[in-house]
Amino acid sequence: GGARRTYPTGIGAACRRERREAIAVGHCVLETCAMVREQRTLCVTMPSSRRRGWIPAAVCLALGSSSLEAQGPSLYFKRIAHDHGLSNPSVTAIAQDVRGFLWVGTQDGLNFFDGSGFTVFRPIPGDTTSMANAWVSALEPSRGGWIWAAVTGAGIHRLDPATGHSRRYRHDPANPASLASDMVTAMLENEDGVLWVGTGRGVDALDTATGRARHFVLSTRSDSGHFANDVLAFLEVPGQPLWVG
């Protein structure tokens, strides 16, 4: 953690393929392969400079299963775990940055995966530019190239992949424009650069340029029959209001 990182220029395909099938999913392209049964690996193709698509490696990390039964050719999955360099087997969040690389949040560190190995970011005693806590609860890639990492009990960190340094955004009881809570459970950055933040105290709209947050309370009632202020998910659909779970 804290070390400089130079991004590799390219990553090769992760498996042999008999044939490739491209499936359009919204603005994303999901690539799958008809696999050779004996190989038992998942085909993962990283985005090139001509096309940026969602990386299906997230499935491999989340499921870690040996096979998926479906009509047509079978898909086999390769499990990436602690013995491959992942800092902790309990994966809490996965995100793909604007360069196409994979970030994995765990209960013990934030992992950067370049297709061949992991770089792990953890707290460094006495270094306020490192993570304040190793337990990552949510991740959100920024259009500016940063990674937003919600850290349990320590607010939000904006990590610069080029330096490994983080800027911390936390709740300050003396500052009404700070986050409503340090327990952040969901994040979404919109096209205007506003970071929507979900906590147990409602929704915050964090201005990423100034660091000031506006607070939106979903409910002022305490009875269980009405919706509460615990926010767990966001969804942004073009032309529609922000969806909050």
- Provide mean pLDDT across the span 81-92: 89
Contact status, residue 79 vs residue 64, Cβ threshold 8 Å: yes
Beta strands in the chain (DSSP E): 19-25, 28-34, 67-68, 75-76, 91-96, 102-106, 109-113, 118-121, 136-141, 147-151, 156-160, 165-169, 184-189, 194-199, 202-207, 213-216, 234-235, 243-244
pLDDT digits (tens, 9 = 90+) for 156-194: 999 999 999 999 999 999 999 999 999 999 999 998 889
Task: Tell me which of 12 and 92 has the higher pLDDT.
Answer: 92
- Which residue in 24, 20, 76 sits closest to 53, CA to CA? 24
pLDDT digits (tens, 9 = 90+) for 35-62: 323 333 333 333 333 333 333 333 344 3
Contact status, residue 56 vs residue 33, Cβ threshold 8 Å: no
Predicted TM-score (pTM) above 0.75: no
pLDDT band at 201 (very low <50, low <70, confident <90, very high): very high
Residue 219: per-residue pLDDT: 73
Rounded alpha-carbon distances, angstroms, from residue 44 to 32, 52, 146, 158: 8, 13, 24, 28
Residue 77: per-residue pLDDT: 84
